[in-house]
Structure 1
Amino acid sequence: MADKQISLPAKLINGGIAGLIGVTCVFPIDLAKTRLQNQQNGQRMYSSLSDCLIKTIRSEGYFGMYRGAAVNLTLVTPEKAIKLAANDFFRYHLSKDGKKLTLLREMLAGCGAGTCQVIVTTPMEMLKIQLQDAGRIEAQRKLMAAQGQPSSSPAAAKPAVEKRPTATQITRELLRSKGIAGLYKGLGATLLRDVPFSIVYFPLFANLNKLGQKDPNVKAPFYVSFLSGCVAGSTAAVAVNPCDVIKTRLQSLQRGVNEDTYSGILDCTKKIWQREGPLAFFKGAYCRALVIAPLFGIAQVVYFVGIAEFLLDLLPRRRA
Structure 2
Amino acid sequence: MGDKKVSLPAKLINGGVAGLVGVTCVFPIDLAKTRLQNQQGVQVYKGMFDCLAKTIRSEGYFGCYRGAAVNLTLVTPEKAIKLAANDVFRQKLSKDGHLPLWGEILAGCGAGTCQVVVTTPMEMLKIQLQDAGRLAAQRPMATPSQTAAAGPAPSLVASASQARPARPQRPSATGITVELLKTRGLAGLYRGAGATLMRDVPFSMIYFPLFANLNALGREAAEGHAAVQVRAPFWQSFVAGCSAGSIAAVAVTPLDVIKTRLQTLQKGEGEDTYRGIVDCTRRILSREGPSAFLKGAACRALVIAPLFGIAQGVYFLGVGEAVLGLLE
Q: TM-score when scaled to structure 2? A: 0.90
Q: 2:114 maps to what in 1? A: 116
Alignment check: 8 A CA contact 1:226 1:300 kept: yes
Q: Which moved more, 1:215-224 or 1:133-142?
A: 215-224
Q: 2:128 maps to what in 1? A: 130
Q: 1:3 to 1:197 in 2, by over 3 A?
A: farther
Q: 1:152 to 1:300 in 2, by over 3 A?
A: closer
Q: Does 1:264 align with 2:285?
A: no
Counterpart pick for 2:253 among 241, 247, 259 = 241
Q: 1:12 maps to what in 2? A: 12
Q: Find the residue that maps to 1:142 and give its secondary structure.
A: coil
Look up the equivalent residue of 2:300 and give its one-letter code. R
Alignment check: 8 A CA contact 1:212 1:220 kept: no
Q: 2:66 maps to what in 1? A: 67
Equivalent residues in 2 for 1:1-320, closer than 5 Å: 2=2, 4-40=4-40, 42-95=41-94, 97-98=95-96, 100-142=98-140, 154-155=150-151, 159=160, 164-213=170-219, 214=222, 215-316=227-328
In the alignment, the residues of structure 2 paired with residue 224 and residue 279 of structure 1 have an alpha-carbon distance, to the nearest angstrom, of 34
Alignment check: 8 A CA contact 1:212 1:221 kept: no
1:176-217: CA deviation from partner (whole Å, max 9, x where unpaired):
001000000000000010000000000000001110423112
Alignment check: 8 A CA contact 1:153 1:255 kept: no
Look up the equivalent residue of 1:313 and give its one-letter code. G
In the alignment, the residues of structure 2 paired with residue 77 and residue 58 of structure 1 have an alpha-carbon distance, to the nearest angstrom, of 31
In the alignment, the residues of structure 2 paired with residue 202 and residue 2 of structure 1 have an alpha-carbon distance, to the nearest angstrom, of 20
Alignment check: 8 A CA contact 1:126 1:252 kept: yes
Look up the equivalent residue of 2:188 and give its one-letter code. G
Look up the equivalent residue of 2:111 and give its one-letter code. A
Shift of 1:235: 0.4
- Ranges in structure 2 where 5+ consecutive residues have no aligned partner: none
Q: Percent identity, aligned pairs only?
A: 70
Q: TM-score when scaled to structure 1? A: 0.92
Alignment check: 8 A CA contact 1:23 1:73 kept: yes
In the alignment, the residues of structure 1 paired with residue 61 and residue 201 of structure 2 have an alpha-carbon distance, to the nearest angstrom, of 34
In the alignment, the residues of structure 1 paired with residue 242 and residue 14 of structure 2 have an alpha-carbon distance, to the nearest angstrom, of 17
Look up the equivalent residue of 2:59 and give its one-letter code. E
Shift of 1:264: 0.4
How many residue pairs get matched? 310
Q: Which moved more, 1:61-70 or 1:212-221?
A: 212-221
1:137-171: CA deviation from partner (whole Å, max 9, x where unpaired):
011111678xxxx9996239974676521100000
- Ranges in structure 1 where 5+ consecutive residues have no aligned partner: none
Shift of 1:4: 3.0
The two structures, once aligned, show a CA RMSD in angstroms of: 2.0
Q: 1:11 to 1:152 in 2, by over 3 A?
A: closer
In the alignment, the residues of structure 2 paired with residue 163 and residue 99 of structure 1 have an alpha-carbon distance, to the nearest angstrom, of 56
1:215-262: CA deviation from partner (whole Å, max 9, x where unpaired):
112111111110000000000000000000000000000001110110
Q: Which moved more, 1:5-14 or 1:192-201?
A: 5-14
Look up the equivalent residue of 2:135 and give its one-letter code. I
